[in-house]
Each structure stands twice: as structure tokens, then as C-alpha cells.
Amino acid sequence: MAVRTTITRRITSSSSVLPGLRSMSSWWGNVNPAPKDPILGVTEAFLADPSPDKVNVGVGAYRDDNGKPVVLDCVREAEKRIAGNMNMEYLPMGGSNKMVEETLKLAYGENSDLIKDKRIAAIQALSGTGACRIFADFQKRFSPDSQIYIPVPTWSNHHNIWRDANVPQRTYHYYHPESKGLDFASLMDDVKNAPNGSFFLLHACAHNPTGVDPTIEQWKEISYQFKVKGHFAFFDMAYQGFASGDPERDAKSIRIFLEDGHLIGCSQSYAKNMGLYGQRVGCLSLVCEDEKQAVAVKSQLQQLARPMYSNPPVHGALIVSTILGDPELKQLWLKEVKGMADRIIGMRTSLRENIEKMGSPLSWEHITNQIGMFCYSGMTPEQVDRLTKEFHIYMTRNGRISMAGVTSGNVEYLAKAIHEVTKTA
């Protein structure tokens, strides 16, 4: 006993660590702080600013004309209906069958033959981010030598998702800085020059961050070239209904690919179009050759979800299925999502008109030509820094304006500030 006590005392009191032993204080000594998220960091800086004139046009969440968060009336009514009938049991690994069924109708069409023939493998996911991540893992597992082509620019988290799934990334041209529109010629060249059978990430509508979408005719050309090359199209659709106010119109890119016979993948989210940001409700779907293949693919998607989060949350899924499964509530949702889209479109018009009234020497047509929550303003990082320092206006340094943060109360102030920092450009 005396010998053991002596040895223990020597180990614990010695400043040196014996070979094979690690100091308990050094386990995480090699961990450095992670860089701040470029989007979330904007909100942190905004909240810390005491100025009464401060404006936040960086947040990617809808606000009303008073700058306040919104809970849709259809969501409030759905909450009432499910409140007395709440079930806290686990959902299956694939999530709510009812929610998935209604979600597929939005993407693929109410009377889709693909749905009728049970050719779509689909699971509930943790919003659009979770759907993209599960697909990235699925791609790595079942097409391990493949890579993913991602547009320049794109939502910054896309790069994180495929990176952490260990899928090699390539990029393709998308945005044209001079025209502040689509670089369609370069995009098509990249599609043609990519190896046959490549994976491409496409934004179905309201491209984030640019707000620049292909036209219907351009989508048809893209689909045709994908067919020629045998490429796989994975659509991230985070803004269906929120872009134009019409969910059918916003799904047109997907429908074009389906009409051409593509077996696509699709990520869907209800964060924006139902305002269910914190509920994390989404869906991942893959079109398959037949029902048998769809059953196999779904089983593998569920297996990927199992060690990641096991089961998706139930409450948000109940809200979505209640709204979409009731004709009256669905009509209310369609009215409300159009109202949100129309407000965004109206703010685009107002911002452009106010800047032009200042006598700006620049063209601001791109503000109204672009669509969706975000406007890619064309301002430089240095101009954005001036907006923040001199006018207390916060946005990401790539010049992306969240149009949801623009209101009738601040649009003139925002326009004056933008004119001030760009008039000598």
C-alpha cells in the first residue's frame, strides 16, 4: 500500500508526464477558435451596435414591413388543431409519411406519375441543410469516386456540407459581375466540359446569394445538355413559393428536368415559405428507375440518418402536414406566401426607384431583375464596410442585401447610403 501511494504521489505531483500518459489539461490544447460564420457574424455585430439608425439587411429570414418576425396565420391555426392531439413518440427514421407525401406533391406535381408509381425515395430531413448533407453522404457512399459541381457563388454552407461529407468539389460559372446577371455562356461551357456523369448542384429558384435565375428557355437548354452528358442534377429548393409567390412557377426548373426524363435529386425546406425556421422541417427525395429501386434507396437514406440524428422532429412535420393536407389551410398558406413574395418584390422596386432618384450614375436594373429574398447589389467589400461604419447598415461583405430587411420605413435611408458609397465607383 505504501509503495502504491508513493507512485501515485509522484505521478500526480510531477511536472512532467510519464511516457504514454497525457496531461488532462492538454486534451484540447490544439483546438483554435473557429472562424465566425460570415452571415451569423453580421447579426452579432448589428445587435452590438447601439445606434438608433442601424439597419440589418444581412439576416436570411423574412420580416414584415415593421421589421418584425412573422408567424403565418395558417401556422397559428395548424398549431391550434394539433395542440390537443399532440403525440411525442418517435417518428420513423424516414419521418412523417404524411408530411413527405404532401411535400413531394409540391415539388413533383399534384398528379405526378412518379408519385403514383412510387418511384421517388424520400425522407423527412432537418430542413434544407440536413437534406443536402444526407444526400452528400449518400453520394459519397454509393458513388465514392464522384465529385460535385457547385455554382460560383453559392450559399456558403453548401461548400461546408460537401466538404464534411468528403466529396471533392469543383465549381461552375454562374454569376456575371459586369451584367449582374447570369453568365449563361460560361455555365453551358462548364456543363459541356465536365466529365460525363458528373454531379451538379442547382438552385431550383431564387438563387442564393445572387437572386439570379435562368429563364425557362435557358433551363430547357441546361436540361438538354445534362441529358447529352448524362449528368446528375441535385436541386436545392429552399424558396418554393417565396420567390414568385407561386409554388408551381417556382418549381418549373424541376418540372423541365422531369419532362426530359432525368432522375433528379431534390432538397426542400419550409424555413422560408412557411416561416418555420426553428422547426427544421425539410425533405430529401431521389427519383428512381422503379418502385423496387426506390425502396432500396430510401432504406439507405434512413440508414444514413440513423447515426446522424436517428429520427427527425415531430412538431414541425405536424404543422406542415396539417396545412398542406387541409384545402382551406393550404389556400390560406398560398395567399400568405404570395403576400410575403409580393412585399419583397415591392421593396425591390422601391429601393431601385429611391437610388435612381438620387441621380446615381450607375444602373440599378439588377435590383428588380433579380428575384427572391436576396439582392446581389454589386457593391464591393470596401463599400459595404463604409455602409457599416458610416451608416450603421449591416450586410455580408459580398454585397448581398436581404430584401426582407428592407421596409417602407428604412428604404429611403438605405438608398441614400448606397448612393453615397457608390456614386464615385
Residue-level pLDDT at 69:
93
Give dist(CA 372, CA 210) in Å, integer.
9
Q: Where are the domains of the chain?
A: 38-70+340-423, 91-325
- φ, ψ of residue 342 to 5 degrees: the values are -65, -35
> Which ranges constitute the DSSP H helices of 19-165?
40-48, 73-83, 97-108, 113-116, 127-142, 156-164
Report strand pairing: 232-237 vs 199-203: parallel
Give dist(CA 297, CA 287) in Å, integer.
10
Look-up of cell digits 426506390:
294
Residue-level pLDDT at 35:
85
Cβ–Cβ under 8 Å, residues 144 and 164: no
Q: Could you say which DSSP state residue 26 is in?
A: G
Cβ–Cβ under 8 Å, residues 202 and 233: yes
Axis-axis angle for helices 127-142, 156-164 (nearest 10): 40
Residue-level pLDDT at 87:
82
Residue-level pLDDT at 180:
94
Residue-level pLDDT at 9:
47
Classify domain 91-325 at the CATH class level: alpha beta
Residue-level pLDDT at 12:
46
Cβ–Cβ under 8 Å, residues 381 and 400: no
Contacts (Cβ under 8 Å, ≥6 apart) of 190: 149, 172, 173
Residue-level pLDDT at 24:
65
- 3-class DSSP state of 3: helix
Residues noted as catalytic? 155, 236, 272
Residue-level pLDDT at 14:
44
Calculate ∠ Cα 333-334-336, nearest 5°.
60
Cis peptide before 153 (omega within 30 of 0): yes
Contacts (Cβ under 8 Å, ≥6 apart) of 141: 300, 304
Give dist(CA 349, CA 374) in Å, integer.
13
Q: Could you say which DSSP state residue 277 is in?
A: G
Give dist(CA 394, CA 92) in Å, integer.
42
Classify domain 38-70+340-423 at the CATH class level: alpha beta
Calculate ∠ Cα 359-389-33, nearest 5°.
135
- Please give the model's pTM, rounded to 2 decimal places: 0.91
Residue-level pLDDT at 149:
98
CB-CB neighbours of 323 under 10 Å: 25
Mean pLDDT by 10 residues, the chain (425 residues): 46 50 75 83 90 92 93 97 86 96 97 97 98 98 98 96 98 96 98 98 97 98 98 98 96 98 98 96 98 98 96 96 97 98 97 96 96 94 96 94 96 97 85
